[in-house]
Chain A
Amino acid sequence: MPNPLPDSCVMKSLLQDKSKPHILMSPPDYFTVAYAINPWMTQGAVDVDLAKKQWENLYHAITQKAGAQVHLMPPVDGLPDLVFTANAAFVYKDTAIIAHYKYPERQPEEPFCEKWFNENGYRTVTMPEDLFFEGAGDALIWKDRVFAGYKTRTDILSHHIITKETGLPVLSMELIDSRFYHIDVCICPLYNDYFLYYPEAFDEYGKRVIEANIPVEKRIPVTAEEASRFACNTVNINNTVIFNQGSHRLAGVLEEKGFQVIQLDLSEYLKSGGSAKCLTLRIA
């Protein structure tokens, strides 16, 4: 298991260290499927030891093969989904907009996430009590704009706060399939402005928004089968992409475009409705 917990000056060092991307993860010490808040969470018990091994493989791929630095948020007993750091916040420069979870099961995570960002030098923003927002799980930056999901977990009115706090324009995308309950399981902005996405997770309006914003040569649609393997839930660090195993067609497409593809077995996290990208958060 990787060691060091972040020191109190991580942000300062992050800002100084522009030589590599920085990723936030949280060890799966207490990971399990303790409740069912999405359609994936009904597939049986998690093999805890296997889940730890899979997480370590992801950590290793990110640090050793993709060359990023990983920082760790301490796990908390009783908060099994804290391992999915993608949902903790939406981070842009020194601002972290902290998640306010829709389901009460995950709301106890919020103060731990806020504490981590506060202690590490970020300007933290919290949502009003009546607005749900699930961090980078529902807000992803492509070039100079944010693609943000709403309706399943995140409220569309929270998108105003993203614009207010970051100055970034937000394209609000309705999520229409409960299996793809966060936007980070149906789109993934990639290196060189490529855009991985599962079109059927969106209605006709959402598809038109994608077509109006993303040049056709940059769009990489995935199939229904690949989407169900969480192919869009990809960790992208420069030209390296890391996703759950089994999407060989997609791997070939990405390799042709110059990506180094790493496929990992993340089966235990799929039982919770998450995969590679859900286990990470880009923080600098």
Chain B
Amino acid sequence: MPSSNFTIIELSGHIIDSLTLAKVIDKIQAAGCEYQINDLQIGQKKNDISTAQISVWTEDQPLLTTLLEELKPYGVKTLMDHAVDLEPCPKDGVVPENAYIRLNPPTEILYQDQWLPVERQGIDLVIVLDPKTKSAHLQKTKEVKQGNLVVVGDNGIKILPTLGENVHAQPVAR
């Protein structure tokens, strides 16, 4: 699945009682796009708002662009405008405070408008970006070098669950 055909949207408000979430999902399906609800925070009290984050993807990039325009009046925001945040390691073996600790599933990061696959698999590793080669890999915390650019925060990170060889991977936003 080409990364440029993927996005993450968010909508909030009284989206359950107003049926706005149902309407948005119906419009995504009617447009022929695929979707997955990544996160749904439902307000507990009457005056609490709810928030949904949804991954949306399709083979057809113009279709996605058209859909996102159509969804704007419903308060839908696109979260994928944010590139990944990077910070240099302060010294050897020390990662920035807010380093993104990589879990097991395959991951991509958004850097200079391009989704880069993160090489290697593993647990409790940080993502190091090489801006010269535009490549990203995982590294153990104790192995980082001073000045290594490490992914921090949650922006521009896409997790691809492992679903088996014959199953098309569905992206999950983080």
Q: What residues make up the interface of A, taking CB atoms closer than 8 Å to B?
A: 144-145, 150-151, 155-157, 159-160, 163, 167-174, 205-206, 208-209, 212-213
Q: Can you list 9 contacts pairing A with B, beta carbon distance less than 8 Å?
A: A150-B73, A151-B73, A157-B75, A160-B49, A167-B47, A169-B46, A172-B13, A172-B75, A205-B20
Tell me whether A209 and B17 are in contact in the complex, defined as CB-CB below 8 angstroms, given that A160-B12, A169-B47 are known contacts: yes
8 A Cβ contacts from B1-27 to A: 12-15, 17-20, 22-23
8 A Cβ contacts from B28-63 to A: 46-47, 49
A171 to B14, CA, bound (A): 6
Residue contact B23 to A160, C-beta cutoff 8 Å: no
A50 to B75, CA, bound (A): 42
Residue contact B18 to A163, C-beta cutoff 8 Å: no
Q: What residues make up the interface of B, taking CB atoms closer than 8 Å to A?
A: 12-15, 17-20, 22-23, 46-47, 49, 73-75
A170 to B19, CA, bound (A): 12
Residue contact B47 to A172, C-beta cutoff 8 Å: no
A-B contacts besides A169-B14, A170-B13, A171-B18, 6 pairs, CB < 8 Å: A144-B46, A151-B73, A157-B75, A167-B47, A205-B22, A209-B18
A157 to B12, CA, bound (A): 9
Greatest chain B CB density within 10 A among A151, A168, A174 is at A174
Residue contact B14 to A156, C-beta cutoff 8 Å: no
Residue contact A173 to B18, C-beta cutoff 8 Å: yes
Residues of A within 8 A of B46 (CB): 144-145, 169
A155 to B13, CA, bound (A): 12
Tell me whether A172 and B20 are in contact in the complex, defined as CB-CB below 8 angstroms, given that A151-B73, A156-B75, A157-B75 are known contacts: yes
Interface of A is mostly: mixed
The residue of chain A having its C-beta at the shortest distance from the C-beta of B18 within the complex is: A172
CB B62 to nearest CB in A, in angstroms, measures 24
Residues of A within 8 A of B13 (CB): 156-157, 159-160, 163, 170, 172
CB B95 to nearest CB in A, in angstroms, measures 37
Residues of B within 8 A of A144 (CB): 46
CB A212 to nearest CB in B, in angstroms, measures 8
CB B163 to nearest CB in A, in angstroms, measures 33
Residue contact B49 to A205, C-beta cutoff 8 Å: no
CB B146 to nearest CB in A, in angstroms, measures 43
Residue contact A205 to B19, C-beta cutoff 8 Å: yes
Residues of B within 8 A of A213 (CB): 17
A260 to B46, CA, bound (A): 34
A13 to B100, CA, bound (A): 58
Residues of B within 8 A of A163 (CB): 13-14, 47, 49
Residue from B12, B19, B73, B75 within 8 A of A208 (CB atoms): B19
Residue contact A156 to B20, C-beta cutoff 8 Å: yes
The residue of chain B having its C-beta at the shortest distance from the C-beta of A145 within the complex is: B46
